[in-house]
Amino acid sequence: MISIAKPVMGDEEKKAVMEVLDSGIIAQGPKVKEFEQNFAEMCGVKHAIATTSGTTALHMALLAHGIGPGDEVITSPFTFIASANSVLFVGATPVFVDIDPKTFNMDPSLVEAAITPNTKAIMPVHLYGMVCDMGPLMEIAKKHGLVMIEDACQSHGAELEGTHAGAFGTGTFSLYPTKNMTSAEGGMITTDDDEIDELCRVIRNHGMRRRYFHDQLGYNFRMTDVHAAIGNAQLMKLPANNEKRRTNAKFYNENLQGVTVPFVPQGFHHVYHQYTIRVPDGKRDAVREYLKENEIGSEIYYPLPIHQQGFYIEQFGEQTFPQAEFAAEEVLSLPVHPLLSQSDLEKVVKTINSFMSKG
């Protein structure tokens, strides 16, 4: 079976974990600090704050920016549920804008119409490993005095004209095993803002600035040194693994037929967390089935946009975002991870092309 995702684990990760276990400092200690420094450097930002997941990174970033009840956050309906759920965690309201059908990312031309006096933040999601069109989004945020929180959970190492995902505003990353790098479970916040950095660290540790004196409500969102050791070893491999993903994607781009391959505008450095095609004419599910028969994994990210999820309809009523809904019917993500062999890639191409050529 050619799997859709596979973490690249080696001796470096094993050695790093054993070192932590032998050191006796297993909870948050020097490895977390080292991982944070290295991650900040990779993104080109001043601070990185390690946490337990991408979901807690989003939650903490919203809390640190003081977003709460009565506030609105503009985001994409075509993403993993945690993006919008994090807005609900803080008692605020996610306001969706539709996606650009070519990039699957938030369409900046629709954002201004969604702004109300209650809007506090824009939260673009850099889906599948490609940064959103941040130029116009940053301009809108500046013009309306809005906070920029990037859901970069799928975009470690992605860039737009030399600026890394997570370096435009407050960045949030997931370190889940299927991502381009992992700490088993984990997350990271990135920021240039000293105040946001300090607030995240306080929120992460029970709202505590002085030992057992609690100035504000906080949580236990601390990463352990065991997870940080894995994350650090993975971070060292990220550039090479991203390059391998890009090489795999190039092979697909050059050889797949009858489907729409990912669109990468000029200046965007895509790191292919997912390689997502559009399958036309209602054939997506049949292609997927055919791939499965041929022992090739694939996945639909995402089959139901967030505004159509049951509990969102209960809270916010029926809404429609046609491009997100149409994408949900057509998208199919193919294996693109660094452990694929040339014969795996050729098999995927041959299987899809033979299905699509049947008409």
The residues binding ligand PLP (CB under 6 A) are 53-55, 79-80, 82-83, 125, 151, 153-154, 174, 176, 187
CB of 104 to ligand PLP, least distance (A): 11
Rounded to whole angstroms, how far apart are CA atoms 310 and 307? 8
Rounded to whole angstroms, how far apart are CA atoms 300 and 284? 9
Phi/psi for 16 (5° steps) reads: -65, -40
CB of 94 to ligand PLP, least distance (A): 13
In three-state secondary structure terms, 188 is: strand
Pick between residue 172 and residue 351 the one whose CB is nearest to ligand PLP.
172
- Asked whether the beta carbons of 185 and 153 are under 8 A apart, the reply is no
Is 179 in the active site?
Answer: yes
Structure tokens at 75: 């985001």
Pick between residue 155 and residue 248 the one whose CB is nearest to ligand PLP.
155
CB of 79 to ligand PLP, least distance (A): 5
DSSP state, residue 208: E
Rounded to whole angstroms, how far apart are CA atoms 224 and 50? 9
CB of 275 to ligand PLP, least distance (A): 15
Determine which one of 179, 244, 283, 347 is catalytic.
179
Pick between residue 105 and residue 232 the one whose CB is nearest to ligand PLP.
105
Spatial strand order of the sheet with 159-160 comes to 163-164, 159-160, 268-269
Pick between residue 123 and residue 277 the one whose CB is nearest to ligand PLP.
123
- Asked whether the beta carbons of 12 and 235 are under 8 A apart, the reply is no
Residues with a known catalytic role: 179
